[in-house]
């Protein structure tokens, strides 16, 4: 009798374990290959993690692997190791981690190499055939009509798909009728864009590029700190050119919103190798083909958003993370990884450099640079001739305002409209939380037990600390000065667009927010209209802040900056500074310098001193000192257990139980320096009919924290109580809500 081997397999199910299966003769497997396995009533595609001879499960109860999908591992070894590390670090099921890293067709078992797209051509008979004669066969009729209109009377599969999901069947009928013939599509000639004239780097750019190019052979991380418009992208291009000339590949991550056609074009013009793009706007098969192009080594440069960090590269040469501070690098549901942190880990394994670029680096990255973990490179001046905009404060205590818009801001907008220049009105939505404050003396309710502001809960009419759970009565008048009109800060921003419409009935106002841009192509269309001068006022959120140059925008109005100063989200001030810097970077050109007007009730707040002086460094130093004092990241590590349930007390009740288990896990693992807070309702307690609550665990060191998390989760997963609510763990959360 031959000994059958046993494979441990990562299966895409929400369980933090891999499962053992038999590998019946004549099948053979090795770690990293995909297999089909029976799982309950279904078959699932999983990935082999390890092969051995023993299992904790009796052999008689093991099921056999049904099919082996390839002979060689899907991921290069270092990437596979990174995925296993990520599953541990984020305490997330390995099967789901592996699935996240695979293009969707591969999750379903498609061959690694994607099918080439086909093109469909009219035959002579098809050219003269009237589509109307196809009667009620609508899809056939529409395909044929489309073919008649198409240039060269041919269509690619991608175009046919737009007609109907069932286009293949209709097309097959048209082929049977000999109206259409199919060819494998000619590889789309990447319409080799005219090579751009090379830019001569200025001395700061050259120094930065040289420092990185000198260290391409080993792991090293660089912080490229350059103000907006200082020419960071030119430095990236120089590095990517060099990496490609050495026969290696470059992976460039950018925030979703910054991956514009202009940026892609800039890379295609400058890089003498195939450039592929990976983002969520592509069809599944386009993504699969881009992925394959990277994995097979064809693509020289890969430009992508968060999940592109998982792109397999046979010849990795450099990782570049642009706008490294951007919160879109953190996945906010499911597998909550941070692409920057994964890139750093992966690069270390692969032995190659990482470049973190930003005008406003995250405090995490600045702290790491201060500890010598990243080498700092500076671009201190704007590359072109444009100057930095002037930033002014509008003191809301002294200037009247109507519906959130102060008189001086309205006057400034009016002047821009008269001069046919554009205004960008920026609403800060992040860190939104109602905070009670006194507009006479600036009192706001502090938590007596921590360095945090209390949040006002309208429904219960009381104040609560979202860090420790402390509760207090909401005062009717200011406890400090007796003033009776306490303001619920954070309301009314929704009305800005309407107010502008009433004030400027003839102005063309464009709104840019998540809802307005969810549909494919909408954002591009809006941006095109701005560039074409078809808008006078743009109203938007952080979506407007990044990556776009609006040469005719000469005024930026910031409506609700104060939410960033008094928010329960300890990162709100950092994010606000980053956003205002980015937004301000959009405004003004050499011939038309820009102005930024910020409305505030707190013009004397030290925060604004740094902002007015464009002194991010100064702000960061003060903010880091506060974080150190308050035991916040980056000096303390957080993990947040979230729970939600349609039953009002269920989530918080579960977290009360979970807290006891966490304390038990701390004792069991004899871990020092791990703090378990009290469960608290989420700032937005009720969302979509569910009550939400959260529990914060923190520690000065990662190792004991992860030991506790591991023991804790193993217990929670086995507990019947954990099945009554929906819950998830967020390691290094970017939002505490």
Q: Is 263 in the site for ligand ADP (CB under 6 A)?
A: no
> E strand or H helix at 455, and its extent?
strand 454-457
Among 467, 511, 546, 637, binds Zn ion (CB under 5 A): 467
Residues 617, 549, 494, CA angle at the centre, nearest 5°? 80
Least distance in Å: CB of 580 to ligand ADP?
16
CB under 8 Å to 672, separation ≥6 — which residues?
704
Q: Is 201 in the site for ligand ADP (CB under 6 A)?
A: yes
CB under 8 Å to 667, separation ≥6 — which residues?
none
What ranges make up the beta strands (E) of 231-296? Answer: 249-253, 275-278
Q: Is 397 in the site for Zn ion (CB under 5 A)?
A: no
Instruction: Give the count of residues interacting with Zn ion (CB under 5 A).
Output: 15
Contact window for ligand ADP (CB under 6 A) among 119-127, 229-237, 481-489, 723-731: 229-237
Q: Which of 118, 123, 126, 129 is nearest to 161 (CA)?
A: 118
Q: Is 360 in the site for ligand ADP (CB under 6 A)?
A: no
Which listed option, ligand ADP, Zn ion, none, makes contact with residue 230 (CB within 5 to 8 Å by class)? ligand ADP
Which listed option, ligand ADP, Zn ion, none, makes contact with residue 234 (CB within 5 to 8 Å by class)? ligand ADP
Which listed option, Zn ion, ligand ADP, none, makes contact with residue 77 (CB within 5 to 8 Å by class)? none
Q: Is 230 in the site for ligand ADP (CB under 6 A)?
A: yes
| Residue 123, φ and ψ in degrees, nearest 5 | -85, 175
Q: What six digits make up the tokens of 677?
A: 């807070």
Q: Is 447 in the site for Zn ion (CB under 5 A)?
A: yes
Which listed option, ligand ADP, Zn ion, none, makes contact with residue 232 (CB within 5 to 8 Å by class)? ligand ADP
Q: What six digits make up the tokens of 647?
A: 């039953």
Locate tokens 């706001």: which residue? Answer: 444
Between 363-370 and 616-630, two packed helices, what is the crossing angle to 10 degrees? 90
Site for ligand ADP in 365-394 (CB under 6 A): 383-384
CA 636 to chain centre: 23
Q: Is 423 in the site for ligand ADP (CB under 6 A)?
A: no
Q: How many CB atoms lie within 10 A of CB 394?
A: 21
Contact window for ligand ADP (CB under 6 A) among 36-44, 104-112, 231-239, 300-308: 231-239
Nearer to ligand ADP, 160 or 545 (CB): 545
Q: What six digits make up the tokens of 310?
A: 């998982």
Nearer to Zn ion, 478 or 559 (CB): 478
CA–CA distance, 350 with 340 (Å, rounded to integer): 15
Nearer to ligand ADP, 196 or 214 (CB): 196
Cα torsion 205, 211, 216, 219 to 10°: value is -120
Instruction: Give the count of residues interacting with ligand ADP (CB under 6 A).
Output: 15
Beta strands 5-10; 19-23: pairing state: antiparallel
Site for ligand ADP in 232-261 (CB under 6 A): 232-234
Among 37, 65, 208, 478, binds Zn ion (CB under 5 A): 478
Least distance in Å: CB of 454 to Zn ion?
8
**Prior bond to 219 cis, omega within 30?**
no
Which listed option, ligand ADP, Zn ion, none, makes contact with residue 443 (CB within 5 to 8 Å by class)? Zn ion
Among 102, 252, 438, 705, binds Zn ion (CB under 5 A): 438
CB under 8 Å to 604, separation ≥6 — which residues?
none
Contact set with ligand ADP (CB under 6 A)? 199-202, 205, 226, 228-234, 383-384
Contact set with Zn ion (CB under 5 A)? 438, 440-441, 443, 447, 449-450, 465, 467-468, 470, 478, 480-481, 483
């Amino acid at each position: 009798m031959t000994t059958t081997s046993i494979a441990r397999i990562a299966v895409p199910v929400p369980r933090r374990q891999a499962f053992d299966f038999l590998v019946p003769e004549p099948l053979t497997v090795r770690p990293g290959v995909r297999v089909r396995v029976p799982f309950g009533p279904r078959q699932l595609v999983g990935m082999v993690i390890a092969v051995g001879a023993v299992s904790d499960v009796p052999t008689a109860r093991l099921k056999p692997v049904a099919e082996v999908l390839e002979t060689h591992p899907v991921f290069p070894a270092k990437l596979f190791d990174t995925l296993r590390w990520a599953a541990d670090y984020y305490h997330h099921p390995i099967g789901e981690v592996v699935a996240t890293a695979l293009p969707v067709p591969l999750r379903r078992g498609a061959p690694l190499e994607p099918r080439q797209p086909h093109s469909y051509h009219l035959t002579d008979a098809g050219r003269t055939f009237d589509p109307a004669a196809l009667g009620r066969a609508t899809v056939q009729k529409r395909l044929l009509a489309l073919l008649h209109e198409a240039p060269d009377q041919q269509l690619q599969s991608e175009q046919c798909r737009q007609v109907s999901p069932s286009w293949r069947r209709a097309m097959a009928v048209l082929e049977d009728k000999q109206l259409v013939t199919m060819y494998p599509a000619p590889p789309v000639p990447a319409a080799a864009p005219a090579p751009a004239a090379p830019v001569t780097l200025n001395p700061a750019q050259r120094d930065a590029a040289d420092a990185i190019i000198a260290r391409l052979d080993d792991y090293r991380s660089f912080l490229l700190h350059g103000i907006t418009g200082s020419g960071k992208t030119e430095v990236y291009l120089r590095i990517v050119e060099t990496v490609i000339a050495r026969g290696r590949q470059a992976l460039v991550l950018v925030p979703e919103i910054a991956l514009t056609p202009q940026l892609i074009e800039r890379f295609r013009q400058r890089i003498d190798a195939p450039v592929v793009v990976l983002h969520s706007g592509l069809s599944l098969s386009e993504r699969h083909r881009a992925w394959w192009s990277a994995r097979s080594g064809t693509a020289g440069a890969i430009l992508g958003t968060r999940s592109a960090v998982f792109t397999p590269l046979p010849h990795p040469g450099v990782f570049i993370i642009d706008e490294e501070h951007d919160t879109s690098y953190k996945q906010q549901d499911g597998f909550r990884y941070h692409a920057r942190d994964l890139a750093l880990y992966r690069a270390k394994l692969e032995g190659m450099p990482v470049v973190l670029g930003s005008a406003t680096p995250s405090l995490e990255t600045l702290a790491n640079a201060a500890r010598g973990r990243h080498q700092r490179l500076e671009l201190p001046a704007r590359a072109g001739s444009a100057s930095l905009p002037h930033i002014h404060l509008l003191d809301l205590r002294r200037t009247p305002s109507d519906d959130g818009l102060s008189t001086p801001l309205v006057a400034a907008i009016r002047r821009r409209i008269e001069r046919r220049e554009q205004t960008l009105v920026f609403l800060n939505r992040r860190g939104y939380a109602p905070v009670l404050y006194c507009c006479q003396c600036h009192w706001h309710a502090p938590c007596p037990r921590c360095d945090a502001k209390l949040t006002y809960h309208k429904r219960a009419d009381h104040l609560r600390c979202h860090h420790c759970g402390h509760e207090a009565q909401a005062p009717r008048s200011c406890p400090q000065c007796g003033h009776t009109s306490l303001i619920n800060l954070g309301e009314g921003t929704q009305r800005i667009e309407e107010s502008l419409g009433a004030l400027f009935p003839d102005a063309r106002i464009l709104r840019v927010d998540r809802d307005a841009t969810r549909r494919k192509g909408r954002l591009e269309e809006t941006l095109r209209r701005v560039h074409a001068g078809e808008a006078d006022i743009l109203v938007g959120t952080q979506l407007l802040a990044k990556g776009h140059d609006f040469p005719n925008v000469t005024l930026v109005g910031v409506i609700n900056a104060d939410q960033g100063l008094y928010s329960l989200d300890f990162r709100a001030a950092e994010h606000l500074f980053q956003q205002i810097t980015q937004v301000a970077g959009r405004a003004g050109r050499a011939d038309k310098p820009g102005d930024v007007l910020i409305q505030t009730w707190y013009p004397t707040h030290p925060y604004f001193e740094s902002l007015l002086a464009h002194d991010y460094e100064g702000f960061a130093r003060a903010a880091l000192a506060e974080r150190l004092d308050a035991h916040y990241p980056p000096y303390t590590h957080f993990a947040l257990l979230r729970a939600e349930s349609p039953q009002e007390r269920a989530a918080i009740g579960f977290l009360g139980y979970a807290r006891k288990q966490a304390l038990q896990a701390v004792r069991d693992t004899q871990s020092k320096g791990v703090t378990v807070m009290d469960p608290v309702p989420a700032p937005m307690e009720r969302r979509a009919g569910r009550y939400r609550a959260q529990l914060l665990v923190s520690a000065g060191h990662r190792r004991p924290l992860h030991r506790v998390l591991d023991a804790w989760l193993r217990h929670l997963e086995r507990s019947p109580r954990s099945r009554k609510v929906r819950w998830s763990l967020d390691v290094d959360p970017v939002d505490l809500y």
